[in-house]
Amino acid sequence: MTVDFWILEIDTLIFAQYKNQIMGIVQNFAKEWNKGSDIALLLFRFIFACLLILEHGLPKLSKAFSGDEIQFLDPIGIGMHSSFYLALFAETVVALFLMLGLFTRFASFILIINFAVIVYLKMFVSQSPIGDIEHIIFYFVAFVALFFSGAGKFSLDYTLFSKKK
């Protein structure tokens, strides 16, 4: 018999001896992988919602309480003030719901509409270069992804409404 045959025989015996342990490790890894996707959804939701509140919502909120005259576009024909307060609501309250994972798909849908209007205005009405609006497109795509994926297990949606606890 050759040396290669002996090595193969030893490898087979070692694998047979540790087969159950190896399979257990693989199964645990698969379970942890699912938790990893839920953690990723939590981070994704939390980061995009925080950025939206900090960069868009809070400036609008301070403008609303400053007493200054509100100058805002009226893209859907409901009036300048109504458009402003709808955007304010979407970029603060709805973003907070998204951060908590509460009514995630509904919140994502509202933010998709909000950012679809912004993308349309920036791209087609004011014809801004794509480099100037890429962060707006990132928000839009993130909310579309959250709409389809849902909140994940680390959310109030899962805690309150899931039948698989």
Question: What does the pLDDT read at residue 7?
Answer: 47
pLDDT at 36: 74
Q: What is the mean pLDDT of residues 43-66?
A: 91
pLDDT score for 6? 46
Confidence grade of residue 101 (pLDDT, cut at 50, 70, 90)? very high
Given a cut of 60, is residue 163 above it in pLDDT? yes
Give CA–CA dist 65/56, Å, rounded.
15
Least-confidence region, from 23-27, 132-136, 160-164 = 23-27
Q: What is the pLDDT of residues 34-43, one digit of tens each?
A: 667 888 889 9
Residue 88 confidence (pLDDT): 92
Following DSSP, what letter does each residue of the chain receive, concatenated? --HHHHHHHHHHHHHHHHHHHHHHHHHHHHHHHHHHHHHHHHHHHHHHHHHHIIIIIHHHHHHHHH-PPP----TTSS-HHHHHHHHHHIIIIIHHHHHHTSSHHHHHHHHHHHHHHHHHIIIIIS---HHHHHHHHHHHHHHHHHHHH---SSSHHHHHH-S--
* pLDDT classification of 25: cutoffs 50, 70, 90: low
pLDDT of residue 73: 82
Nearest by Cα to 98 from 40, 52, 39, 153: 52
